Structure 1
Amino acid sequence: MRQRRQHRTLARLLGSLVLVAAAGLTSIGASAPPSAAGAPRPLGQIVPAPASVTAGGSAYTIGSATVIRVAAGSPETQRIGDYLAAVLRPSTGYALPVTGGAGADGIRLLLGAGDKALGDEGYRLTSSNGAVTVTANQPAGLFHGVQTLRQLLPAAVEKKGKQPGPWKIAGGTITDWPRYAYRGAMLDVSRHFFGVDQVKRYIDQLALYKINTLHLHLSDDQGWRIAVDSWPRLAGYGGQTQVGGGKGGSYTKADYQAIIAYASAHYLRVVPEIDTPGHTNAALASYAELNCNGVAPPLYTGTNVGFSSLCVAKAVTYKFLDDVVREIAAMTPGPYLHIGGDEAHSTPHSDYVAFMDKVQPIVQKYGKTVMAWHEITGATPVQGAIAQYWGTLGNEAQVAAAAKAGTKLVMSPANHAYLDMKYDAKSPLGTSWAGYVDVDKSYAWDPATFVKGVPAGAVLGVEAPIWSETLTNSSQIEYMAFPRLPGIAEIGWSPVSTHDWASYKVRLAQQGPRFTALGINYYRSPVVPWV
């Protein structure tokens, strides 16, 4: 996960799929040129790649008379319509009223697709000269369809001032659904603290690429970031610093609920992580009784790992965790609660196993599914537990054995999916313990086959973590996440048959102007033919 060495230093803090428009299914080509000025973007030239595209017919043009039509009596559909209107109005300059009235024209957002293949997150987008219609079985699918609609329009649609247009959507049909149910991104707010508005900004960016899970790493040696009423010094004392000795910070319960609500409005669930039994210095410094010797260590602002551990033998440890899990579970509507479990180098293996045997039932008691880093497979995962794989080799026999026994996996191989890895030796931010990871390497893996011996059906999905030892602001987060994050999103969403670097890099290059329009600071990798 983080730097996999016992000693490390803090890095310097410095700041295609081209689808041919023709009758029938489109074909993929790596060298097709961008569409001509004023011509609509080919339907499949988006990220993530859609499952099925049938191109043909006349384009739809958004104009001054365009209306956004939503299902009458559906507050969620109304909200999605309002969201789309808020994206389109500033750049187009059009009123784009959102109405529940019936009609065959305009932009139509409809539930009731009646297609089991779409599931809860799939959608169908159909465009012709009279209307563009997005249909889905559930609101989440409708929201994902809206993200596709955004990408089919010129990148300038994302700007906050009026742009000249035209605003055309190519004719045809996209039928789309995700490969995996879990498509996540993790943000480490413990090494450096990021406030509510910074987290919301990241949620906006995740939603564009159909990510549906935000994993928040809320505790570590350097800081405890969530208020717990029954143990107030965790946030009040343990949250007051960060790597390098900055002021740190923590979320009040109202802050956390604001993040939950914003994520939910963007169809992302939040997975809170309280890392245990290691990575716990902030907690140990806050409460002396959590230490085996009863002495609280000083707060920690460095970047070494593996030196801290909760006291496995003390009953107060489990009272502490019961209280923490109870309060966080009560605030978190999603099904998962992550208990960490990685790099517990200071916890003897027998103690680690005993600890996990006691903590996992606490999570279950409060109605949550256990998630943990893949080291939990060296203990005894409870029925239904999910192990998050962060390794680099793919040959971990105990992970494969646990998967065969029923443990589901979320795949985050550090040498492909960790967004804090340096791009190359010149990268001013990040670490390199898992190697240098440029955009092509980040894209070049398959979750179903990465760990030898794991049944394909055991893979629940993918996640792209970003650790913040060297990151202090949103611009730096974006520089490390983009352009790698869209590729991880595609690996999680798109059919494996679409995974081809030669075609993907062309589609990714087309995202460059969109990043710029959205104000996203991104790394202009030389392996991508940027537009």
Structure 2
Amino acid sequence: MTFTEVPATHSSAPVVVPALQRWSADAGSLALADGFRVLWADSSLEATATQLVAEIAELTGLTGTAASAAGGNASAGDIMLVLDPKLDFGTDYATAAAEGYVLTVGTGVVLASRTLTGVFWATRSLLQMLLASTELPCGTAVDWPNYPVRGFMLDVGRRFSELGYLADMVRYMGWFKLNTFLVHLNDNEIAKDTQRSWDVAQQAFRLESENPRFAGLAAMDGSYSRAEWERLEELAAAHHVNLVPEIDVPAHARSLIKWKPELGLNGGDSDMLDLSRPEATELIKELFTEFVPWFAGPVVHFGADEYAKAHEPEYKQFFNEISAHVRSLGKQPMAWGSLSAMANGAGDLETGYNRDVLMCSWNNDWYSGQAAVADGYKIVNTNDEFLYIVPFADYYHGGPLDGRLLFETWEPHVFGDGKNLYPQHPQLLGAASALWNDLVLKDYDEHVMHGMIEPTFGLLAQKMWRGVVPGMDYDAFMAGAETVSRWPGREFLR
């Protein structure tokens, strides 16, 4: 079947965040009641069905069961989960095949997709509809994302976050169909800002290996063991969120220099590795060889930002060696875009910088989206002016992002300063907002951070998934977002 309904508008469609791409209303409604069943037509959907039953119970109080549909027919009021590799969404968006779904409400509910991920996103939409009412409007939703990368980054290097908070962030991201969680695993105090010496500057590396080779590297004030990280990976997989771990080198590396002072620039009085020493690069290769097997997702971030431009030749060699090493370990390398500031661009293909790196375009002067695309990179919009929270800082956003500005002027192709791309540019994979804990001497915790993230989280998801909805203004969107602000499974944030 091919679906060609007109795009959903604010007035016509059920309240779901991000909003449905298409909605075709039918007459009548379906009341979900105690005793409902969630049936799976493929055994790979059993875990999703079981999870959905528990989440409906948590959000509505209704009790039901999960069961296989094999050998039986769906009854009125059943919820059916279906994998259909030939499902046609009536759109040429490549993302539809990977993440799109069809949600149909009639005598029962059918959630269909080509993929497990699409079925899972359909369950999020169904749950949000149930928050409004357990009497569901009849109709058909056809939904898919405009961009394949929809993300958020959390800095745990400068301020440790409990594993329980990371787990709740995974659940929260999945609730809004955000699929990329970047975790910044090492960093340090910005010593020039606090006027403290590097000897006493706060620094941390948040992964704790049992390998004696790395004894003494993990932070004493909080780190994650392999077992803890793997539990987080399992949860992320269940919520169809990709973890993108970041080990930030060769700058922001005070934790490594504190551990190996001889490898620091300026005789160790720095947070930058001395790349003139081959053993510094070899150590970083060992580091990735040690920790990449912990990581289940397809992408690993190696930082590569804000290094000293005077050492650009060594930086280029490091960039190319480490990105190639990450690739040799079976992962797609990612970096913070820095090549305008560092090298006036990536150079030619033979002697310049490796192109097989995903670039986070975080600052238009360091490397704008336009510049990175012109050099041939695929990019993610992580623009600092629009998307960075730095709690209590007097730069970027010291609290929540500017929701009205984001709603009225921003989408993933917008970088500002005349550096915008056109929407759905083939090299633009999507966007990610970020919370950076620069001010290490301030006193706050995960609950305070979340209070800054929460006001615009659904709004950002809306812009990354669908964008502007005809007939919807900012106040109407925020009112709708409030109706779906309760999400299932939270533990740390209770």
* TM-score, normalised by the number of residues in structure 2: 0.82
Contact 1:111 1:135 in 2 (8 A): yes
Q: In structure 1, what is the Cα distance between the partners aligned to 2:486 and 2:242?
A: 27
Q: Which residue of 1 aligns with 2:208?
A: 227
Q: Which residue of 2 aligns with 1:388?
A: 360
Cα gap change, 1:512 to 1:453, in 2 (>3 Å): closer
Q: In structure 2, what is the Cα distance between the partners aligned to 1:381 and 1:58?
A: 59
Cα gap change, 1:264 to 1:26, in 2 (>3 Å): closer
Q: In structure 1, what is the Cα distance between the partners aligned to 2:57 and 2:337?
A: 46
Name the SS of the counterpart of 1:59 in structure 2.
strand
Gaps of 5+ in 2: 90-95, 189-202, 347-351
What is the aligned counterpart of 1:433 among 386, 395, 403? 395
Q: In structure 2, what is the Cα distance between the partners aligned to 1:415 and 1:471?
A: 24
Deviation at 1:27, TM superposition (A): 5.8
What is the aligned counterpart of 2:435 among 466, 469, 480? 466
Gaps of 5+ in 1: 1-23, 33-41, 156-165, 241-247, 298-306, 422-428, 522-531
Deviates more, 1:468-477 or 1:80-89: 468-477
Q: Which residue of 2 aligns with 1:498?
A: 469
Q: In structure 1, what is the Cα distance between the partners aligned to 2:213 and 2:456?
A: 38
Contact 1:290 1:310 in 2 (8 A): yes
Code of the aligned partner of 1:468: N
Q: Which residue of 2 aligns with 1:407?
A: 377
Deviation at 1:400, TM superposition (A): 2.4
Contact 1:190 1:223 in 2 (8 A): yes
Q: Which residue of 2 aligns with 1:82?
A: 50
Contact 2:82 2:111 in 1 (8 A): yes
1:131 aligned onto 2:98: no
Deviations 1:394-417 (A, max 9, x none): 577765243123201100112222
Cα gap change, 1:126 to 1:181, in 2 (>3 Å): same
Q: Which residue of 2 aligns with 1:144?
A: 121
Name the SS of the counterpart of 2:235 in structure 1.
helix
Deviations 1:213-245 (A, max 9, x none): 1111001122100124556557x45512xxxxx
Contact 2:206 2:222 in 1 (8 A): yes
1:263 aligned onto 2:232: no
Deviation at 1:196, TM superposition (A): 1.5
Q: Which residue of 2 aligns with 1:5?
A: none
Deviation at 1:50, TM superposition (A): 1.5
1:216 aligned onto 2:183: yes
Residue pairs, 1:168-187, within 5 angstroms: 168-187=135-154
Name the SS of the counterpart of 1:339 in structure 2.
strand
Code of the aligned partner of 2:320: D
Q: In structure 2, what is the Cα distance between the partners aligned to 1:497 and 1:207?
A: 21
Contact 1:59 1:168 in 2 (8 A): yes
Contact 1:238 1:285 in 2 (8 A): no
Residue pairs, 1:252-291, within 5 angstroms: 252-291=225-264
Deviates more, 1:51-60 or 1:338-347: 338-347
Q: In structure 1, what is the Cα distance between the partners aligned to 2:30 and 2:431?
A: 35
Deviations 1:167-217 (A, max 9, x none): 111111110011111111111111111122111011111100001111110
Q: Which residue of 2 aligns with 1:318?
A: 281
Name the SS of the counterpart of 1:372 in structure 2.
strand
Contact 1:274 1:339 in 2 (8 A): yes
1:50 aligned onto 2:17: no
Q: In structure 1, what is the Cα distance between the partners aligned to 2:46 and 2:226?
A: 28
Contact 1:225 1:249 in 2 (8 A): yes
What is the aligned counterpart of 2:456 among 481, 484, 496? 484
What is the aligned counterpart of 2:166 among 199, 217, 220? 199
Deviation at 1:46, TM superposition (A): 1.4
What is the CA RMSD across the aligned residues, in angstroms? 2.8
1:63 aligned onto 2:33: yes
Tell me the number of residue pairs that the alignment of Structure 1 and Structure 2 aligns.
Answer: 444
What is the aligned counterpart of 1:189 among 156, 160, 173? 156
Contact 2:337 2:367 in 1 (8 A): no
Q: In structure 2, what is the Cα distance between the partners aligned to 1:70 and 1:362?
A: 42
Contact 1:183 1:489 in 2 (8 A): yes
Contact 2:339 2:366 in 1 (8 A): no
Q: In structure 2, what is the Cα distance between the partners aligned to 1:70 and 1:435?
A: 45
Deviations 1:46-83 (A, max 9, x none): 111121111122211111231111114x1x31111111
Q: In structure 1, what is the Cα distance between the partners aligned to 2:264 and 2:60?
A: 60
What is the aligned counterpart of 1:98 among 57, 61, 66? 66
Q: In structure 1, what is the Cα distance between the partners aligned to 2:475 and 2:411?
A: 17
Cα gap change, 1:231 to 1:180, in 2 (>3 Å): farther
Q: In structure 2, what is the Cα distance between the partners aligned to 1:499 and 1:219?
A: 42
Q: In structure 2, what is the Cα distance between the partners aligned to 1:137 and 1:471?
A: 47
Q: In structure 1, what is the Cα distance between the partners aligned to 2:386 and 2:8?
A: 28
Aligned sequence identity (%): 24
Contact 1:230 1:323 in 2 (8 A): no
Cα gap change, 1:330 to 1:435, in 2 (>3 Å): closer
